[in-house]
Amino acid sequence: MKILFGVQGTGNGHISRSRELVRRLKADGHDVDVIISGRKEEDLKEVEIFEPYRVMKGMTLVTYKGRLNYIDTMFQLDLLRLMTDILMLETAGTDLIITDFDPITSMVARIRNIPSMGFGHQYAFRYDVPMARGNLFEKYTLLNFAPARYNAGLHWNHFNQPVFPPVIPPSLYAANARAVHKEKILVYLPFEEVEDVVAFVSSFDGYEFFIYGKVTESRDDGHLHFRGYSRDGFLNDLMECSGVVCNAGFELPGEALHLGKKLLLRPLNGQIEQESNALAMEQLGYGMASHSLDATVLADWLQKPCREPLHYAKTVDYIAEWIGSGEWEQLPKYTEAAWREKS
């Protein structure tokens, strides 16, 4: 099957989960052509599995100090470039378009009437899962930013809906043999300024904080350990830590739940997906949430015990099987099978 696969490049979560599905689809013999949008090519890391891939401007969201900035988001939008990329994109012979929240491939599928499939957490919100109240504009944007005909939504729990478990990196399925250090805490707050993160955690000197995000170089300062981008280093710290403090995205909390780490989520203000994730996390009893960098909340959370690992299935196996079967109307058959399996 010839597949056009669009990846939203904003953040690392879309790239992380799409990397695993693209790898599996290629292994199954599909011809996969990848487009990455919303991020400059020089900022892309560990995307070799996508080669040969193309980078397009697309659309992205602008944040500042933990809040979505709608004005700057609108100013950076280049509608002429976006429409040119859509109209000029070659799709001859394409059997299926998969979009991981990429608006270019989503729009191309609609214009040219090519079967399309949405892959990712955002597509779970098409079903009855917890959603924050937000406003009509936020809800409309979430559901219509990159829509598709079929939806492979992902969530931490099935909520009795046809959604898949999270996509977990292969290395984390063998993580149980790693020693866990009770005092080690992983902090990943990429939407916060580093100085604000330092002020948030520095007084808790009985813990070792490994801080990722807007960190340009690795260094150690007492019990604060600043780490520049390294996927392997990040996963090693995730496996060894007892708890994770992060924004309320989807991939990292899913990985932490898979491993049994305790979680404290700080949702990005004004971003309905993250507000909804924080709501779901607390409703499920899987972790805590705080809408600010509140040291009092952190102190309470640090005393919480770790939770039992959820051991999610190898989700991409089920999604790839669903894609290859052509039974795209039979989604529950594959989602139910994925939830029955434990890694």
Query: The domain that contains 230 carries what CATH number?
Result: 3.40.50.2000
pLDDT number for residue 71? 57
Residues 238 and 114 in one domain: no
Together in a domain, 255 and 325: no
Q: Would you say residue 308 lies in a domain? A: no
Ramachandran angles phi, psi of 154, nearest 5°: -120, 140
Statement to judge: residues 36 and 82 lie in one domain = yes
Please tell me the distance from the alpha carbon of residue 221 to that of residue 226, in angstroms, as a whole number: 8
Residue 70 has what pLDDT? 55
The answer on 231 and 151 residing in a single domain is no
- The two tokens of residue 168 are 């977990």
Whether 71 and 184 map to the same domain: the answer is no
Residue 317: burial class (beta carbons within 10 Å; 0-12, 13-18, 19+): middle
For residue 261, being part of any structural domain is answered with: yes
* Whether the predicted model's global pTM rises above the 0.75 cut: yes
304 contacts 289 by C-beta, under 8 angstroms = no
Contact call for residues 264 and 114 (beta carbons, < 8 A): no
248: containing domain: 170-302
Residue 25 resides in a domain: yes
Distance CA 229, CA 325 (A): 38
* Pair 85, 205 in one domain: no
Query: Quick one: 242 and 272 in the same domain?
Result: yes
CA 107-74-146 angle, 5° bins: 25
Same domain, 179 and 157: no
Residue with tokens 């490049």: 9
Instruction: Work out how many domains the chain is built from and give that number.
Output: 2
Residue numbers of the chain with a pLDDT score lower than 50: none
53 & 70 share domain: yes
Q: Are 24 and 317 in contact (CB under 8 A)?
A: yes
Domain co-membership, 244 together with 227: yes
pLDDT 10s digits, 176-196: 667 899 999 999 999 899 999
Instruction: Let me know if residue 120 belongs to a domain.
Output: yes
